[in-house]
Structure 1
């Protein structure tokens, strides 16, 4: 008996054709949409870099200081000058030349300018490009916005004991909230510095944690602990635009215990621990 051979229906053929077209067209459309978003973000960042270089030249003409830096006020001036609605997350200037800018464009895309190149980066990558300089600016900003300024008598300006909770705890809490509930990790260059210094721990496990020194100054500690609190096990310290590492003789970098409101500075601005005075060493970066 002869069996009926059933072919494809018209609807099935149309479905197959549409599936093939979608497979070809969707990647192209997505690529087009991404390009359409990236182009204005890159253009904005280019304008930001140009304005930043203009700002550097203006500052140098005023004071002829070869060590020009761009602070938060300068970043605000640059953003206002370009007037696109984006925000500068980090800048780096070397030899009177803008060498790096991390910029969040008005459409939310993150753009990194470095080595004379522009590229779009993901949110997950941002911690690898942010440095302690950016984190310190954030900590100082949060301190003002949240009115957390500590005094040297062990009380914050609300009259509460520094231990219930401590000044550092309040600042750390606000700091974490601005970093998706986590302390930010050290960036790639900072981690490499520790590896080169024979640090025997895992640099990728370290996080930047703000804390108050004895005189109420905000410092950043590269801490092995991820919890908020009044102490830290730190291997690197950032203060006054300078990195310091805790180095014991020639045995490489090591962690040291730092208690809130105990760390002081000598006449040269070098940090010292009460029980560990000779081990914070200035890094030439």
Structure 2
């Protein structure tokens, strides 16, 4: 009589555990990298809107200098309106020109998302370097 040999098909428990451990290690390495890319993307959105706000503020202040606008407060309000037309889901709430030795050295732009949750302040220097901080840092 011939004995029937059973063919064992499938994976052993040890093989499955080894695969799970390898996947866990890969996830531990990959997840922080992906999260940092997501945060960089969000900051890039704030930077883009801040640069646009700076350009709009410069245009409106130039109009003040030529006499088209009445004063700088009206110019900044107009710059905020112009920026919000193109800023997507971000809303600019304040723009302030920072003056040193009678020259504008940078602009501070306060923005928040459409839900009003993430409020950030971006400081844009005249050579277009941008620094982003959480919260409203403009007085």
TM-score range, shorter chain: 0.5 to 0.7
Q: Which runs of 5+ in 1 are unaligned?
A: 1-6, 64-68, 132-285
Q: Could you say which residue in structure 2 is the equivalent of 1:113?
A: 123
* Change in CA separation of 1:96 and 1:77 when aligned onto 2, cut-off 3 Å: farther
5 Å matches for 1:25-36?
Answer: 25-36=30-41
- Counterpart of 1:14 (choices 12, 19, 43) is 19
Please give the per-residue CA displacement for 1:36-90, whole angstroms capped at 9, x wherever unaligned. 2111211111000001011111101118xxxxx742x433311221212512334
Moved more, 73-82 or 51-60: 73-82
Q: Say whether the 8 Å CA contact 1:101–1:112 is kept in structure 2.
A: yes
- Corresponding pairs, count: 115
Is 1:52 paired with 2:57? Answer: yes
Q: Which has the larger radius of gyration?
A: 2
Q: Say whether the 8 Å CA contact 1:42–1:111 is kept in structure 2.
A: no
- Distance in 2 of aligned mates of 1:11 and 1:21: 15
Q: Which has the higher contact order (CA 8 A, sep 6+)?
A: 2
- Counterpart of 2:47 (choices 30, 36, 42) is 42
Please give the per-residue CA displacement for 1:135-165, whole angstroms capped at 9, x wherever unaligned. xxxxxxxxxxxxxxxxxxxxxxxxxxxxxxx
5 Å matches for 1:260-279?
Answer: none
Normalising by the residue count of structure 2, what TM-score does the alignment of the two structures yield?
A: 0.67
Paired residue secondary structure (2:67): helix
Runs of 4+ in 1 over 4 A off after TM superposition: none
Q: Please give the root-mean-square deviation of Cα atoms over the aligned residues, in Å.
A: 2.7
Is 1:77 paired with 2:78? Answer: yes
Q: Which runs of 5+ in 2 are unaligned?
A: 1-11
- Distance in 1 of aligned mates of 2:27 and 2:19: 12
